[in-house]
Amino acid sequence: MAWRRHDAPPLAVYRDPGDDISFGDVFESEHLIDVYAAGDTRALGGGPMPRGAAERLAKQVNRNLKDTGSELLPVYSPVLELTDADAESLPVYSPALDQHADKHHALAHGSNMKLEAPNRAILLTDSCAVDTALVVGRRGRRKRGRLLFAPVVPATAEDIDRLGDEPVFGRFPLAACEAFGHGAIAELRYCFNVDVAEVRTTDRILALNDEAAEDLEVAWAAQTLRRGPLSTERNAERLTERLIERGHGGAQSLAESLGEAIDLGWLLESKLDAASDKSIELTSDLIEEVDAVLLSLESAARKARERLPRPS
């Protein structure tokens, strides 16, 4: 599939999620919070303990720290408000306690953007990596690793229009639908990881169709690497502007040739990806498709070279 050049970012189109979790799936769950580390992030030790012991621990920790002139460090109970006041034990955590070898809690920062909408996020991990983490088709193996998400935040029609007029690599526009109202924005600038064991198929509300998923790939490559068609097209436009400023004729024709080569380069990557996939039969038609793209790319590159101004 060739990437389609746009004057403005495309608006994503949706489909119902399939059986398998894939790149571009949109999830909704309370635990999907934009969590990130800052200078005051600390590891937390602790865990479930008797209520009386938890209360004594809090007093002792703060007493010891006060005696040494250190800042008080409270004991945290993430489910205190959900626990029966008469419960015999509480899960408690504190930076003053050593972290357990297999319990990795931390005091960090996080935000749900203070939104009225539910916590939503879009999956950015490549589908092949998702299958590996979820051990799809690999019986007897344990799920392990993390998957990368970007927060999905509500947007107004004006927000979407503004992104159309002034594209921003790190903000991917999502079209209006029943779930998003006037639309939404995937904040590619504020990504966070989720334990693969807590990524559930039942939390998905939407998925991007194939074309929209490819548009997201392009936007993601531009945001993270400043590579791919979207980023390269912008660079070609900037080169054209510089050539026009210097009085070079034919700058617009050069931009068109460069754009064609950019599209074909992205298409070649897609064809090579399919040809290398062991789950897809390597037919003569597939080889011919790769060859056809190479021929077209050669022609586009030749045109661009012919139109490129030479130093006088």
Mean per-residue pLDDT, 75-103 = 66
User: Which tens digits make up the pLDDT trace of 239-262?
Assistant: 888 888 888 878 888 888 888 888
184 or 8: which carries more pLDDT confidence?
184
Q: Which residues contact 183 (CB under 8 A, 6 or more apart)?
A: 11, 154, 155, 156, 157, 159, 160, 173, 174, 175, 176
- Looking at residue 108, what is its pLDDT? 87
From edge to edge, which strands make up the β-sheet containing 89-94?
89-94, 42-50, 105-107
Tell me what the mean pLDDT of segment 229-247 comes to: 84
The whole-number average pLDDT for the span 262-276 is 85
Is the pLDDT score of 208 beyond 80? yes
**Span 294-308, pLDDT tens digits:** 999 999 999 989 988
The phi and psi torsions of 36 (rounded to 5 degrees) equal: -150, 155
Q: What is the pLDDT of residue 21?
A: 94
- Does CATH place domain 14-36+111-224 in 2.30.110.10? no
Task: Give yes or no for residue 234 having a pLDDT over 70.
Answer: yes
Residues 6+ positions from 297 with CB-CB distance below 8 Å: 261, 264, 265, 268
Whether the model clears a pTM of 0.85, i.e. scores above it, the answer is no
Give pLDDT, residue 137. Answer: 65
Task: Give the mean model confidence (pLDDT) for residues 132-150.
Answer: 81
46 and 92 Cβ atoms separated by less than 8 Å:
yes
Q: What is the DSSP string of 151-188?
A: EEEE--HHHHHHHHHS--TTEEEE--BTTTBT-EEEET
Q: How confident is the model at residue 74 (pLDDT cuts 50, 70, 90)?
A: low
Q: Is the pLDDT of residue 150 over 90?
A: yes
| pLDDT of 10 above 60 | no
